[in-house]
Copies of this chain bind each other. A is one copy, B any other.
C-alpha cells in the first residue's frame, strides 16, 4: 500500500502515504479502503508493541472508519493513539490528515489480547512480530 512509518511505539504510531493512482477509486478520490487500511495498520502496530511489554500479542476484532473529506492527491499522515489499553482488549483511535492539516478520515480499532502460545488460525501465537 506504500505506508512509511515515521514513529512506532506502544504509545503512539505515525505513518505517511503519498497518494498514487493505485489509491484512487473510480471517481479519482482516495479509496475508503486506503483509510481503513492505514488505520488498521497503525492501530495494530501500536497495540502489538504495547502488548509485547506484557508478554501478550493482539489480533484485530473491529475496525470502524469514518470518511470526512474527499482528497485527490498529496501526502496523507495518520496518527494512532490508545483510548484504552487493558489486559483483555485494547481500543486505539486514529486520524488521517491531508497536506493542509485537515482531518480527512477518523477511525477506531478494537483488538483482543492473546497470551503467547494461544491458538490462532491453527498455529501457536508467537510474541515477536516482524518490525514494521
User: Chain A interface (Cβ within 8 Å of chain B)?
Assistant: 1, 25-29, 31-34, 36-41, 44-45, 48, 57, 59-72, 83-84, 88-89, 91, 93, 103, 106, 108-110, 112, 120-123, 125-126, 129-130, 132
Q: Which residues of B contact A29 (CB under 8 A)?
A: 59, 120-121
Given contacts A61-B67, A63-B65, 16 further A-B contacts (CB under 8 A): A1-B33, A26-B132, A27-B59, A32-B44, A32-B60, A33-B33, A33-B37, A36-B36, A36-B40, A37-B37, A61-B110, A62-B64, A62-B65, A62-B67, A72-B123, A112-B112
Copies in the complex: 4
Check if A108 sits within 8 Å of B66, measured CB to CB.
Answer: yes
Check if B120 sits within 8 Å of A64, measured CB to CB.
Answer: no
